[in-house]
Chain A
Amino acid sequence: MKKKNVIIFTFLLLISFFSFNIFKISQHKQTIKEQIKVLPEFSFSSVKENHKNISSNIFFKSKTVIIHFNSTCHFCQEEVQLLKDHEELLKSLDINIVLISEEDTNILQEFLKENELYNSDFQLLKSNIGDFYKLFGTSQVPTAFLYNANGKLIKTITGLSKFELITQTFLEDEKVNSLH
């Protein structure tokens, strides 16, 4: 009898724990979905500018790509390299690139050096662990959030993507906006 009770109790405990978390996370995701429709307010420390806090306000009214990344992830490295190769084109299209990582500042500084990003226009920000997830609802890397000049989310890209997908998305959005 005791054995049976332990089995039933463990089963109910596991099911309750996972079900409660599924419910909690799905509610959180719904909130996030609404929250990221417009560029959310945040303030993270700049890796380039000696811990100076950079607020999301400065990216309002300009096309911005927020990329959650990790320097050890192969696809993230490829994505950053791809953006670096097209830096001039991004500049000509007025697209801001904001890289956000939760890694230690030392590691990120090393990443900047290795990839010769100190002189680029890309922002590299360090968020505290869990902060990016709270704001954007994802911990996957790389994930890119494309915001237009009105601060509206126009596309989320999970994983590696071709460069044209970014520029094409902005161009199509501009075309749609100019029609309205």
Chain B
Amino acid sequence: MNKLSLNLLLHHKLALFFLLVLFSWVLQFVSNEMIISDEVWYTTYGEQLSLEQIDGIIEWNATYWWFSYLITPIILLIKVLLITFSLIIGGILFDISLSFFKTIGIVLITEFIFLIPSAIQLTWFTFFENIHSLNDLISFTPWNVFYYINKEDVLEWFIYPLSLINFFEILFVSILTYLVRRVLIEKTEDQNKAFKIVAYGYGSGLVTWVVFITFLSIQYT
């Protein structure tokens, strides 16, 4: 990516955010309307629920379809802000002051990476394999270390931390490091600190997030 197009992207943060939301909505729409049919709901919950009860879930989904679309931008905004703050904190640790607006710009660009796994899942189940239950969709993650581990050996609350060790997380960190060096650090002698800022800032933020979510899941499951 050349400097000009990068600067152009960074100047249009709001447009970037809307684009991110729009792509997420498209993926949600394809998943809800084209992949997850009523039959998928019946197969997923048939063992525990009666047909009437599953009909109820389908009806509820049909009535409140807008809810998942409404919550998407809110979740994305919170996520982008948290990553931005974690990078700024990483900068403080290495005596580098990062601009909030520039940082949020590069986080927005990098966040697009996390749309790829969902796009791959939807492509796979549209063209290569039939989906039977929701578990098929959720568990199809060959880019994830967890995919190659026997699930029965893993404690339930350990699933989330393990799921974060994946190819796209590594790609996210690599591109974030590249952009921090290219866009955020002005002094040439400081540019070797880019990886440290991402590793300590984003890394410690991610660790805190993981233990927090693990704490919640072990408490309420």
A binding-site residues for B, Cβ under 8 Å = 3-4, 7-8, 11, 14-15, 18-19, 21-22, 25-26, 29, 78, 139-140, 157, 159-165
Contact = CB atoms under 8 A, between A and B. Distances in A.
Contacts of B50: 162-164
B219 interface: yes
B196 to A, nearest CB: 13
B93 interface: yes
Contacts of A78: 53, 56
A14 B211 CA distance: 9
Interface of B: 47-50, 53, 56, 89, 92-93, 155, 157, 204, 207-208, 211-212, 214-215, 218-221
A3 B91 CA distance: 12
Nearest to A16: B211
A22 B214 contact: yes
Contacts of A4: 92-93
A160 B215 contact: no
A18 B214 CA distance: 9
Interface centre among A15, A22, A165 (most CB of B within 10 A): A22
B207 A25 contact: no
A7 B89 contact: yes
A162 B218 contact: no
A161 B49 contact: yes
Contact of B92 (A7, A21, A165): A7
Given A8-B93, A140-B221, A164-B50, 7 more contacts: A4-B92, A11-B204, A14-B212, A18-B208, A18-B211, A18-B212, A26-B155
A25 B219 contact: yes
Contact of A22 (B48, B92, B215): B215
Nearest to B211: A18
A25 B218 CA distance: 7
A3 B56 CA distance: 53
B220 A140 contact: yes
16 contacts: A3-B92, A7-B93, A14-B212, A18-B208, A21-B215, A21-B219, A22-B157, A22-B214, A22-B215, A26-B155, A26-B218, A160-B48, A160-B49, A161-B49, A162-B50, A165-B47
Contact of B208 (A14, A21, A139): A14
Nearest to B54: A162
Contacts of A160: 48-49, 53
Given A7-B93, A159-B48, A162-B48, A15 B207 contact: yes
Contacts of A162: 48-50, 53
Nearest to B213: A18
B157 A26 contact: yes
Given A4-B92, A162-B48, A15 B215 contact: no
Given A22-B157, A162-B50, A163-B50, A29 B218 contact: yes
